[in-house]
Structure 1
Amino acid sequence: MISLPNSLHLRKQLIALLVVSFALHATELVQSQDTPEADLVIADFEGDSYGDWITQGDAFGTGPARGTLPGQMQVSGYEGSGLVNSFRGGDRATGTLTSPPFAVERDYLTFLIGGGGHANKTCMNLLVDGQVVQTITGENTQSGGSEALAPAFWNLSELAGQTVQLQIVDQATAGWGHINVDHLVQTDTKPNLPEWDRREKAFVVTDTYLVIPIENAGRGKGQIQLFADDKEVRRYDLTIATSAETTDWHAYFTIDAYQGQNARVVATKVTDEGFAAVRQSNSVPGEGEFYREPHRPQFHFTQKVGWINDPNGMVYHDGTWHFFFQHNPVSLPWGNMTWGHATSQDLLHWEQQPNKLFPKTMATGNCFSGGATVDKHNTSGWGENTLVAFLTDTGSGEAVTYSNDGGKTFQWYEGNPIVKHQGRDPKVIWYTYDDADTPLNEAAKELGGHWVMVVYDEHPEHGQNAAFYTSINLKDWTLQSHLPGYFECTELFELPIDSDQANSRWVVFAADAKYAIGSFDGKTFTPEHVGKHQVHWGNYYASQTFDNTPDGRRIQMGWLRINAPGPYNQHFSFPHELSLRTTEDGVRMFAQPIDEIEALRSNRHQLPPQDLTADEAISLPVGSDLLDVQCTIEIGTASSLELTVAGRTIRYDAKTQNLNETPLNPVDGKISVRVLADRSLTEIIGNEGRVFISGPGPARQPSTSITVTARGGTAKLLKLDAHELRSIWSDADGSR
């Protein structure tokens, strides 16, 4: 006990000191209470296993996924290299992943979540004594969604001190039947997530574009709608950037067709600052750098922005090559399937046109893949020489549209869908009768042929198959036959063997680049061999050939499933011509780059024929990383041959007879290799087109030489011919 002095003055001093001491102590106490404790990481899924978490079923595997799984759209928005991803083997897998019990020691639990939006089936639950007290799903239930993970949080303050568990659930087996989760953290800091809301504004259309700031990081998608004179003309799911600082790139809608009209734009999950940046403009921010990016291909067509996949509607019409394609114009992952459009006069230089077929406002669902043709004799009644396009409307079935202005605009047929079934990707051609054919009817007899649609189909009896339909007017279709064993993007065409027009075969070709050769009588395809053959390898998928070519060539382009860092994603192959040739294995398909590539050639470099000493490289100087290289070598005693081109190594293993892991037999003891080296892309053609291998390549880099090396023995170089190529995007020689 302290005895206070009798002096009033001293007592006042002591009281003052005690007050100050108490105030300082109280301040320290408040400060300590206001200072958040360190975050507690519950799980970041960076290890090879789930640790103490318990798995049931097969959806989650034995450990975290390393990003995107096979067959899945690109996953983004997770942290580090690992995450929970229940797309193991596709959406049919089911199971649960349950954490060990842990104590609630902070006010909030933050996490990243994406995937399916099915309540109680694709979700993460917070459990107390085995009971669900909080639950959350991903955001996707329909086609056109995104695999991006978005930040979210739960307030745990009322559970302080209690023991809880987390349960990640995948009990859905249909579309979006999976869940993605990452980075579970307890924290006392309330997450500063944007204050999202619905916003709209009206304007009169005066400019060319409506530009939209896009943020790549996943945080949940909102929606944008555009109305012109009160008619909805665009509706897209997207992530509008919250601010200028979070904007990764700008998407755009071409709106000059609505000049002078009263327009209205409506957006959800958008901030004030982000919505203010949605505006009219006569230019697209960043367009000055399009095609100048170091990773951008210079002689392959790429879209300006957004995601692409399948080539669509490839057709030659009135002197112009039309190339349509699956396009998501407002995001880098797959979704919002729209028909993009580009045109060319020479199959080399492409001009991207405004998008043509739109989801939800033209189609009832998404605008999936299909083909195009020319109705030269007005069988449809829509006009002579009409450009007609076919697609899958995911909301109804197979649909047809037509253009009477050379592809500038398309009219939606009021009688759609023209075919309703379980399937997609219609390709339509004209079949001309020969003397042995029986016409469908008198109208077809008078026309001298009929229309044929080949389309991917799912059938209880035939399984996954190519279905063949016939029509005389492009509107009314009759099912004729099924060809089992085909999946997606099937098409049918005829080719001469060894350029002999009197000796031809029909080919059925599908998305996986496998094909069959046989006969076709206008209704049924009959293969002449067991199984399928293959000419394309690597990242090549979902190709299509041009219809109505002026010279009869069969020209093909495919989707190259190769990522790009933005503002665009995915690639297309260089156009190539298909042919059938007789080989020692029988009739096989060959693919060669179109001859038009010669117009891009500038400087030429050659080496004379010469012997190759074992393990000693010979070099050919070059001055560009855009190259068309042709090399022929007599293998001799070499165990392998190596060709280096602009940062790539192409290897032929003489023992296994593989060219970059692709089977390829020598011809008369020789192997020929052609390499198209573009930025981000590499296409390797073996033995004059017997194999066509598509894959990635490096970004822009100095390229000073090409080398050839015989490993483990001697060989003979018969030809090394390299052409530097000019960019199709400028008059420069690839220096962009």
Structure 2
Amino acid sequence: MTEPLRPLFHFTPPRGWLNDPNGLIFHQGFWHLFYQHNPKGTDWGNMTWGHARSTNLVHWEHLPLALEPYGEGTIFSGSAVLDERGIAGCGKRALLLFYTFAGKPFDQRMAFSNDAGKTFQQLAWNPVLPNIEGENRDPRVFWHAGAAHWCMALYVRRGTSDGIEFYTSPRLTAWSFSSRIEGFYECPECFELEGSWVLFGADGEYVLGEFDGMAFHPEGERLKLDYGMNFYAAQTWSHAPENRRVLIAWMRGGSYPGMPFNQQLTFPTEITLHEIGGQKRLCRQPIPEISLLWRESWQVTDTALVPGCGLTGLWEGEAFDVEAALILEPGAQLVLTVRGSTIHYDAARAQLSCFGRTASMPLREGKLLKLRVLCDRTSIEVFGGHGEVAFSNCFLPDTAQRTVALAASDGGVHVTTLSVRLIRS
């Protein structure tokens, strides 16, 4: 094993640095993933767009670099759209990349491909949106059917105030200001889901509301997509089949000593809306395609956890997909341990904890706890309930810790089903 810290089923570049996912789009049968990349070293810098594609979101083919630094600037984050009618003047069904040119000053530019993303050319009349103020960046471009025009969500700091500004365009090559919403930082994402609009920035704090193609009107409080230590700059795929909304994020802050790469992405998750405690919530669960990676599977059903004698030492490996449905009595304390890392649920406080982070999560119907845990060589992702609570965490494994265990110190826990699946690369 020459790369012991290379994740088995989380995306990493072959070599060099990785950060924000960019330009996510489904096109001609492939899920395209672009990403912030330094192909010349394992530290941040020399920002370039790396490129990979997949037919199933779990097996990735690395492609040549899509956008490289030029002139006096590098290539910061952005998005991708499909120009079906060729209104931008780059050809019908051209694949368009919108990105921040990090020069002096920053501005927003476009590149296009007429060969299904194999090669890209710069638009002759760049920039499509000149500098607004300071380091304005991270254009997220999308079509608004009701308003019948294209929209761009852009991070803009005005003075000391962070916010997302919206711009509109009929032809994608020139943009007009429409509105601003305060309090969001970097990498905006905006989309419609099951009749509601969703808006969030890089830290994953989201708000639901209405977007009329000009302005976003929040409804309710801001909530968290993720409570973990390593979740940043999440984006979703455009033009996904069957109206799926699939999300991936940078697991910012992981450590990979001695490896030829640095940083990884989360495993792709599918986003849905559920009503939790009378409130609409975004919920995330691993995409079902993960089953393509299952190697072996074990299941426990209809079992009570006896105090001092849990389920331990039965399963061993490097990477797991663990799924559990449990009935908890009031006051029960559940501990799920995966490769030495513990996920704890306190029924009395209705709290789920992992890696020192805690989130409120009442039991469903007052008794049912559902957990899903993805463990890779350098990361653990936890999803509770419908997925309204999630933790994305990186860790450096103890090679001696290779098992999964489930215990309840004082009893009061009944295992309805527990599935432990080994993951292959």
The two structures have a TM-score, normalised by structure 2, of 0.93
* Contact 1:638/1:710 (8 A) holds in 2: no
RMSD: 1.8
Pairwise CA distance, 1:369: 0.4
The one of 344, 347, 350 equivalent to 2:60 is: 350
Pairwise CA distance, 1:535: 2.2
> Counterparts of 2:395 and 2:331 in 1: how far apart (Å)?
27
> Counterparts of 2:164 and 2:363 in 1: how far apart (Å)?
34
**Equivalent AA in structure 1 for residue 287 of structure 2:** I
| Segments ≥4 residues shifted beyond 6 Å | none
* Contact 2:256/2:262 (8 A) holds in 1: yes
Q: Does 1:667 align with 2:354?
A: no
> Counterparts of 1:377 and 1:615 in 2: how far apart (Å)?
66
Pairwise CA distance, 1:381: 1.3
Q: Deviations over 1:601-647 (max 9, x none)?
A: 12110112122222322236224222111112222144421112233
Pairwise CA distance, 1:473: 1.0
Q: Deviations over 1:286-330 (max 9, x none)?
A: xxx7xx511111011110111111000011111111100000112
The one of 175, 189, 212 equivalent to 1:521 is: 212
Aligned to 1:452: 151
Aligned to 2:249: 558
> Counterparts of 1:376 and 1:591 in 2: how far apart (Å)?
30
Task: Give the structure, 1 or 2, with the largest relative contact order (CA under 8 Å, sep 6 or more).
Answer: 2
> Counterparts of 1:585 and 1:464 in 2: how far apart (Å)?
31
**Equivalent AA in structure 2 for residue 450 of structure 1:** H
> Counterparts of 1:533 and 1:572 in 2: how far apart (Å)?
22
The one of 289, 307, 314 equivalent to 1:596 is: 289
Aligned to 2:274: 581
Aligned residues: 412
**Equivalent AA in structure 1 for residue 109 of structure 2:** A
> Counterparts of 1:354 and 1:510 in 2: how far apart (Å)?
29
Structure showing the higher strand proportion among its residues: 2
Q: Deviations over 1:53-101 (max 9, x none)?
A: xxxxxxxxxxxxxxxxxxxxxxxxxxxxxxxxxxxxxxxxxxxxxxxxx
Pairwise CA distance, 1:551: 1.6
**Equivalent AA in structure 2 for residue 471 of structure 1:** S
**1:700 to 1:402, Cα distance in 2 relative to 1, 3 A:** farther
Equivalent residue of 1:599, what SS? helix
Aligned to 1:391: 99
Aligned pairs for 1:125-204 (under 5 A) are none
Q: Deviations over 1:677-714 (max 9, x none)?
A: 11111111111311121112444846764221112342
Aligned to 1:421: 132
Q: Deviations over 1:501-525 (max 9, x none)?
A: xxx1001121000111001111111
Aligned to 1:677: 375
* Contact 2:274/2:386 (8 A) holds in 1: no
The one of 324, 342, 345 equivalent to 1:631 is: 324
Pairwise CA distance, 1:368: 0.5
Segment of structure 1 superposing worse, 479-488 or 350-359: 350-359
* Contact 1:622/1:703 (8 A) holds in 2: no
> Counterparts of 1:670 and 1:373 in 2: how far apart (Å)?
42
The runs of 5 or more residues in structure 1 that have no matched partner are 1-288, 438-448, 497-503, 728-736
The runs of 5 or more residues in structure 2 that have no matched partner are none
Aligned to 1:295: 5
Q: Does 1:510 align with 2:218?
A: no
Pairwise CA distance, 1:463: 2.5
> Counterparts of 2:373 and 2:51 in 1: how far apart (Å)?
28
**1:638 to 1:584, Cα distance in 2 relative to 1, 3 A:** closer
Percent of aligned pairs sharing the same letter: 38
* Contact 2:151/2:168 (8 A) holds in 1: yes
Aligned to 2:261: 568
> Counterparts of 2:406 and 2:162 in 1: how far apart (Å)?
45
Pairwise CA distance, 1:662: 2.5
> Counterparts of 2:381 and 2:326 in 1: how far apart (Å)?
19
**1:712 to 1:623, Cα distance in 2 relative to 1, 3 A:** closer
* Contact 2:316/2:404 (8 A) holds in 1: no
Aligned pairs for 1:118-517 (under 5 A) are 292-361=2-71, 364-395=72-103, 396-419=106-129, 420-422=131-133, 423-433=136-146, 449-460=148-159, 463-496=161-194, 504-517=195-208
**Equivalent AA in structure 1 for residue 352 of structure 2:** L
Q: Deviations over 1:143-197 (max 9, x none)?
A: xxxxxxxxxxxxxxxxxxxxxxxxxxxxxxxxxxxxxxxxxxxxxxxxxxxxxxx
Structure showing the higher helix proportion among its residues: 1
> Counterparts of 2:92 and 2:308 in 1: how far apart (Å)?
64
Aligned pairs for 1:9-48 (under 5 A) are none
**Equivalent AA in structure 2 for residue 621 of structure 1:** L
